[in-house]
Each structure stands twice: as C-alpha cells, then as structure tokens.
Amino acid sequence: MLSYRHAFHAGNHADVLKHLILVRIARYLSEKPVPFWIVDTHAGAGRYALDSEYASKLAEYRDGIGRLWEAENLPPAAADYVDLVRSLNPDGRLRHYPGSPWLASQLLRDGDRLRLFELHSSDVKLLQECFRGRGRQVTITAGDGFAGLKAVLPPPPRRGLVLIDPSYETRDDYANVIKGLREALQRFPTGTYALWYPLLAKPEAQKLPGRLRALGAADWLHATLQVSAPSRDGFGMHGSGMFIINPPWTLKKTLQETLPQVAALFAQGDGAGFTLEGESS
C-alpha cells in the first residue's frame, strides 16, 4: 500500500528475524562458486537513520536490534548478523539500520546479482541513492514486486533467493503472496523463497501458514518469533513469522541454536517464545 513506510518500524523484532534468516540463506548460497541472484519484492529504502523523524517516532528498534547490540555471547548466526549491522555504524553507536537490500548487497560476489522492486515513490528515490554507483550488479525497479517476479524468474544462473515481505495493510496482500508464490514456483521450482508475515489477531494472518503449506512444496521451514502474548483488544503485532520454501539444509539446525536466545532477549512478558517446524523430502 502506498501509504506504508517501513522507516517507522526499522530494526524492530520482525526485522531481526527476517534479516537474520536472509543473511543465513545468502551465506549458504555463497558457499558454492556458481553465481546466484537475490530478488527483493518489497525493498523499501535500503537503509534507515534511526534518529530520523520516522524511526524515532515509535523507536521500535530499541526492542529489536537494540537488545542485540549490547548482548554478549550471541549464537554465531546472530553475531554474524549483528556484525553486519555494526559495519554500517563504524563509530560503535547504533544510529543506522540496514534494510534487506543493503544486507543482501554486502553478501554478493562479483558474479551475483540483486534485483529490487519498490512501489513507494519516495522510497524508490532513497533506494536509488543507496545503491548509486553499483552498476549492473544491483537493479532497481519502481513497481509492483509481485508483477516483477514474472520478468526475473527463473534467474539465468538457476540459483537464487526470493524475499517477499509486503506490508499486509490490506487483505489483498495475503491473497497476493499465495498467488505470487504459486506462479513463481511454476517458473523457478528449485529457488529458495523466504516469506515474512506478521503475527496478528486478524483471520487473514492466522490462516496464512496453512495456506502456505497447502502450496504443496516438498521442502519448507516455518519459524515464528513472539515477543508477547496477543493483546486483549486484538490490536497490534505480537511477533512475526518466516516461511521458507526450499531452505538450505543447514538452516533448521542454525535456527534451533539461535532462536531460543533471541526469543529470551526479546521477551516483553508472558507469551514470548518461538516455534520451528518443517518438512523435507
């Protein structure tokens, strides 16, 4: 939806879950010499100033990346992610947060490619500024990421990750992720797909995991991170989930080692915790 600006939520607990998993998948893809693509359907602005008017209004990062920033003895996967955030804050002060496009770009090799889609006109300009000078390695398209998947899949090297994380401000987003994934899997069945979604009281959010499983993928992994119990009035996001199709075989073990400590650090009362389930062929 064109009114949505991710800057209000940059660095929150949902970003941490999404970006930690993004980094692990990209690290896995880079273990083989064959090039790969990363496609981000809802790229946002690329990176965010946490002292900006948008980010400081809600300051959600304080209960997200802020809780990891000073933590000691983090699991290796969480420490790797935090180190990437630190590279954007070389003076040691947490003032900038990288969006998924910036994180992905740091993990590309010479032959790898990043394809970014963003519909919001203001964020597209910020995204273009973020990647000015990167040449053909990073391509930015002002438009609908779901429609864009038809043009870029399958990627020429037949290896890649598609990250899908719309705002879910309308019911259409829930339908679009199912339709978009179904069509993408027909074009690129061996690709890795990582779908983020919010944990909300609304029926559309609660039914989404079942609808994703019903797509029939032989290999999938579903992780959720809850920071609190759902509110009594039914409003607000109490956590988020990531549904990964064709995940790296190492990812489940990594999350089993990582999510318990992250969930404990992010707990905001009763109901905090995580879930992890999956199926493999």
- For residues 126 and 105, give the distance between their C-alpha atoms in angstroms, rounded to a whole number: 15
- Give, in degrees to the nearest 5, the angle at Cα 38 between 130 and 163: 95
Catalytic residue, from 63, 112, 165, 173: name it.
Answer: 165
Q: Determine the residue type at 252.
A: K
- CA atoms of 129 and 156, how far apart (whole Å): 27
Concerning whether 15 is annotated as a catalytic residue, the answer is no
- What is the DSSP secondary-structure string of the chain? -TT--GGGGTTSHHHHHHHHHHHHHHHHHTTSSS--EEEESS-TTSEEETTSHHHHHH-GGGGTHHHHHT-SS--HHHHHHHHHHHHT-TTSS--EEE-HHHHHHHT--TT-EEEEEE--HHHHHHHHHHTTT-GGGEEEEES-HHHHHHHH-S-TTS-EEEEE-----SHHHHHHHHHHHHHHHHH-TTSEEEEEEEE-SSHHHHHHHHHHHTT--SSEEEEEEESSPPPTTS-S--EEEEEEES--TTHHHHHHHHHHHHHHHH--STT-EEEEEEE--
CB neighbour list of residue 26: distance below 8 Å, 6 or more residues apart: 38, 103, 104, 107, 161
Positions annotated as catalytic residues are 165
